[in-house]
Amino acid sequence: MKLKGRYSGMLSDVVSTYGVMFLIMLVLVGAMMAMGMINQWSMLHAEAAYIASTMAKFGGYTDVAASSLSSFCSETGMDESKITKQVSARGPVMRGTVMWVRLSYPFEFKICPSLPGFTVPISAKAYGVSNYLSGTPIAGSVYVNP
């Protein structure tokens, strides 16, 4: 962009300025949506870790985990029907068994609802070790299907 004459480069300056601004805006919007995705991903990890800890305590996927997941969804605005839950075992499992839970969620990249977007699957896996002793009374928790 070296100015040689009196008027040469003026138009290209104008075009490149807008082009650079457009590029910066594009990256900015993309980065903001990526930030939202990473936030949701971190939250999903924390929730998976919590569910894994309840699974470790009660020896399986109980209604404690299910109710914590539904309150998590209502607080964060995620759609619970879109979350796919996978667990290593429904329970109760033997003490000392390593168990895991995986939550997957399709994150939508969308600027506004009318424009078409695309989805990126995010998933979080967390482990726990069953600390359940058979015969221990578990107050108010029953094993449910995830």
Partner 1 sequence: MYIAFFFIVFVLTWALAQGAKIKATETYYNFQQALDYAVSELTTGKEYDVRLEQSKVTRVFMLKFSEMLNAAPSGSRLTPRDSSYPGPIDVVSIRGIRKGESIPGGQAKQEGFYAEISVPVLRCNVPLIGEKYVTVPMDYFSVVQPIGI
Interface with partner 1 (CB under 8 A): 16, 20, 23-24, 27, 30-31, 34, 38, 41-42, 45-46, 49, 52-53, 56, 95-96, 98, 100, 124-129, 131, 133, 136
Shortest spacing between CB 108 and partner 1, in angstroms: 18
Shortest spacing between CB 114 and partner 1, in angstroms: 26
Shortest spacing between CB 97 and partner 1, in angstroms: 9
Please say which residue, 59 or 146, places its beta carbon nearer to partner 1.
59
Does residue 110 sit in helix, strand or coil? coil
CA 80, distance to chain mean position in Å, is 12
As to burial, measured by CB atoms within 10 angstroms (0-12 exposed, 13-18 middle, 19+ buried), residue 33 is middle
ω into 116 cis (within 30 of 0): no
Shortest spacing between CB 69 and partner 1, in angstroms: 16
| Contact by Cβ (8 Å): 142, 63 | yes
Please say which residue, 10 or 24, places its beta carbon nearer to partner 1.
24
Q: Could you tell me the end-to-end alpha-carbon distance of the chain, in angstroms, rounded to an integer? A: 61
